Amino acid sequence: MAAFGSVFMPEMAISWFDGSEWSPTEIVSSDSIQLHPGAHVLHYASTCFEGLKAFRHEDGSIKIFRMDRNLARFAQSSELLALPAIDQQATGQMIVDIVRRFASEVPAPPGSMYIRPTHFGTEPAIGKAAAPSLTSCQYVLLSPVGDYFAGGDKALRLLVDDEGMRCAPHNGMIKSGGNYASALRPIMKARAEVQADQVLFCPNGDVQETGAANFLLIDGDELITKALDESFLHGVTRDSILTLARDLGLKVSERELSVDELLDRAGKPGCEAALSGTAAVLAPVGTLIYHGREYQVGNGGIGETTVKLRQALNDIQWGKAEDRHGWLTSI
């Protein structure tokens, strides 16, 4: 099977901002894009993106999950990177139009169509290191994906890093490629040295997130996760899981969580930890590695509440449960 996100639909939706207005959306080949070598994005990383999914229901209809929330974050990321403002309604129409064009290619569950809106600065000006790009481009790319857990649902190993950080603190809530790039070296180092799957960044002992997902701790009937601030990504899946956790009667605590408290709670019977994100929804965490010592989370395997929450979200996405929160958009 091809790696997640490595297969693309042959066409994408695209629009260009010339400094005063956005061009009408075009459907073009998705195998290339023409860009001046001096484009702002290539030198000063003026780029952001989103990740969301479309699902095929048993009746053949196609639904996009939480598009409004992703559009709002896309607009926010653009604003915080000083990119030209996007028109959320127009961008939403771009998404709907391109998904509709390839509706027959949307896989049945547990597969889905991964949707990647992207926005970047295009102005050819290498002298603008301290000034924003006045022109930009946005496009919507589609990638059909299969079952994220096709290779087996295994509990992950996380290296707990209380010295480094994923990205610049004021950029954490921006979904920008630079944030992911800055986390790559510590992740690769952790994989090589302690066979960790990911790094849990905890600057100054404050538990934040991993390189590509939000972190959740489940202790009995309480779900604990860091309160929203600008230092980490405000995940749409995170928000969805917290909502469903409340629906299931769990106590949701959005607050500061220290490494000391995390390790203390992790060893308790029945404790669970998980990573939330668009790709996996909820991936279980079985081991925490801190200062050369390994700490087992609960029984070291896949927690019951983690599975229950993931299934509850999947059931809504796949049309097997009522969408009581209005999360699905029909195309």
Q: What is the CATH number of the domain that holds 121?
A: 3.30.470.10
Same-domain check for residues 106 and 189: no
pLDDT of residue 49: 98
Q: Name 292's bridge partners.
A: none
In a domain, 4, yes or no: no
CA 123 to chain centre: 27
Tens of pLDDT along 90-117?
999 999 999 999 999 999 999 999 999 9
In a domain, 331, yes or no: no
Amino acid symbol at 309: L
pLDDT of residue 125: 96
Instruction: For 183, list phi and psi in degrees, rounded to 5.
Output: -95, -10
Q: How many domains does the chain have?
A: 2
Q: What percent of the chain has pLDDT over 70?
A: 99
Same-domain check for residues 179 and 289: yes
- CB burial string 197-233: b at 16+ within 10 A, e below: bbbbbbeeebbbbbbbbbbbbbbeeebbbbeeeebbb
pLDDT of residue 3: 84
pLDDT of residue 67: 98
pLDDT of residue 1: 61
Same-domain check for residues 224 and 266: yes
Same-domain check for residues 128 and 166: no
Q: Name 121's bridge partners.
A: 136
Tens of pLDDT along 35-87?
999 999 999 999 999 999 999 999 999 999 999 999 999 999 999 999 999 99
C-beta neighbour count of 60 within 10 angstroms: 10
pLDDT of residue 145: 95
Given a contact cutoff of 8 angstroms between Cβ atoms, the answer to whether 77 and 176 are in contact is yes
Same-domain check for residues 165 and 270: yes
Same-domain check for residues 116 and 261: no
Residue 276 has pLDDT above 90, yes or no: yes
Same-domain check for residues 113 and 163: no
pLDDT of residue 192: 98
Q: What does the pLDDT average to over 266-278?
A: 95
What is d(CA 274, CA 85) in angstroms, rounded to the nearest whole number?
A: 34
Q: What is the CATH number of the domain that holds 261?
A: 3.20.10.10
* pLDDT confidence tier of residue 293, bands split at 50, 70 and 90: very high
The range of the structural domain enclosing residue 88 comes to 11-145
Same-domain check for residues 131 and 182: no
Same-domain check for residues 171 and 243: yes
In a domain, 2, yes or no: no
In a domain, 42, yes or no: yes
Beta strands in the chain (DSSP E): 11-17, 26-29, 47-49, 52-56, 62-65, 112-121, 136-145, 156-161, 198-201, 209-210, 214-219, 222-225, 251-254, 272-277, 281-290, 293-296, 328-330
In a domain, 3, yes or no: no
Residue at which a domain ends, from 121, 145, 169: 145
Same-domain check for residues 138 and 213: no
Residue at which a domain ends, from 145, 165, 189: 145
In a domain, 327, yes or no: no
Q: Name 111's bridge partners.
A: none
In a domain, 84, yes or no: yes
Same-domain check for residues 131 and 196: no
Residue at which a domain ends, from 113, 145, 177: 145
Same-domain check for residues 186 and 259: yes
Residue 325 has pLDDT above 80, yes or no: yes
Computed over every residue of the chain, the mean pLDDT equals 96
pLDDT of residue 149: 73
Which is nearest to 285 in space by CA: 160, 155, 149? 155
In a domain, 66, yes or no: yes
Q: What does the pLDDT average to over 133-143?
A: 98
